[in-house]
């Protein structure tokens, strides 16, 4: 069964000791029965080859492998049987020399592999966050998560994934540390990780002081509000305009369709 938010390598000699709960990437690659795991387009039989290319020293090869490795396990915001081992593999290669060395070797039109992997982890974590669970419970009843084994498995894996993401929160490159923060925010909803809220709040304030990225600003402002922080003094004129725009969109949607947030899904637009 899949859960949809849209309703409905040769062994590397450079592998480092992994954080607790996060296996080495080669172990994940070798020990997973990929062909038995469902994806959006069949099974994960082709995933090992694509995942292996993510650690290629050639950034062009890595770039072309991203869609083949990640697309089949997150199609239409769904989580599949193969999503969790792919997510753990991605977390396990965040410090791989080929990826970290490529941070400053990309052209102006291509984001570093490290940033793209963090963005994928964050997007997938948002697809399995508490808000999604609340929405599903409004549709299918409390406890429906028991029926969504793939989502439950991803949520259980959040501490292991966070252990790799956390190491990048202080990265020298602003794009990397900001993407790490956005990925960390939904991960720390796990009960074992909520103690990291104060630390992430500090990172969030630093992002707001430096970044103009609309998506990043929206995510950290929403997180700070959810954690009980006053955010009005942190907003700039663009944030205020965006907040007012989202409010107008919500009002128009509610007027047309009824109270569309009544089922527990309250994330701000864009739709």
Separation between Cα atoms, residue 120 and residue 116, nearest integer Å: 6
The sign of the dihedral angle between the CA atoms of 215, 217, 223, 228 is negative
Bridge partners of 39, per DSSP, are 42
* Per-residue pLDDT at 18: 46
Mean pLDDT of the 102-123 span = 80
User: Per-residue pLDDT tens for 154-203?
Assistant: 999 999 999 999 999 999 999 999 999 999 999 999 999 999 999 999 99
User: Per-residue pLDDT tens for 202-236?
Assistant: 999 999 999 999 999 999 999 999 999 999 999 99
Mean pLDDT of the 129-136 span = 89
pTM of the prediction?
0.85
| b/e burial code for range 103-114 (CB count within 10 A of at least 16 → b) | beebeeeeebbb
* Per-residue pLDDT at 258: 63
83-92 helix and 149-156 helix, angle to the nearest 10 degrees: 20
* Per-residue pLDDT at 107: 54
């Amino acid at each position: 069964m899949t859960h949809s938010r849209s309703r409905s390598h040769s062994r590397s000699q450079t592998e480092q000791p992994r954080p607790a709960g996060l296996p080495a990437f080669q172990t994940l690659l070798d020990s997973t029965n990929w062909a038995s795991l469902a994806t959006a387009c069949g099974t994960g039989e082709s995933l090992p080859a694509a995942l292996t290319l993510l650690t290629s020293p050639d950034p062009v090869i890595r770039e072309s492998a991203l869609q083949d490795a990640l697309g089949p396990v997150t199609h239409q915001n769904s989580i599949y049987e193969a999503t969790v081992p792919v997510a753990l593999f991605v977390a396990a290669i965040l410090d791989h020399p080929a990826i970290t060395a490529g941070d400053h070797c990309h052209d102006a039109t291509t984001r570093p592999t490290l940033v793209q992997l963090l963005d994928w982890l964050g997007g997938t974590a948002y697809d399995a966050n508490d808000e999604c669970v609340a929405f599903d419970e409004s549709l299918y009843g409390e406890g429906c998560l028991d029926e969504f084994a793939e989502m439950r498995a991803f949520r259980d894996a959040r501490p292991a994934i966070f252990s790799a993401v956390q190491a990048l929160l202080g990265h020298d490159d602003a794009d990397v540390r900001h993407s790490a923060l956005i990925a960390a925010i939904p991960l720390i909803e796990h009960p074992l990780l909520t103690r990291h809220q104060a630390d992430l709040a500090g990172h969030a304030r630093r992002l707001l002081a430096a970044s103009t990225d609309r998506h990043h600003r929206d995510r950290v402002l929403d997180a700070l509000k959810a954690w009980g922080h006053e955010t009005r003094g942190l907003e700039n004129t663009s944030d205020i305009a965006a907040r007012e725009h989202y409010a107008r969109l919500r009002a128009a949607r509610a007027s047309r369709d009824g109270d569309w947030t009544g089922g527990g899904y309250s994330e701000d637009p864009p739709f």
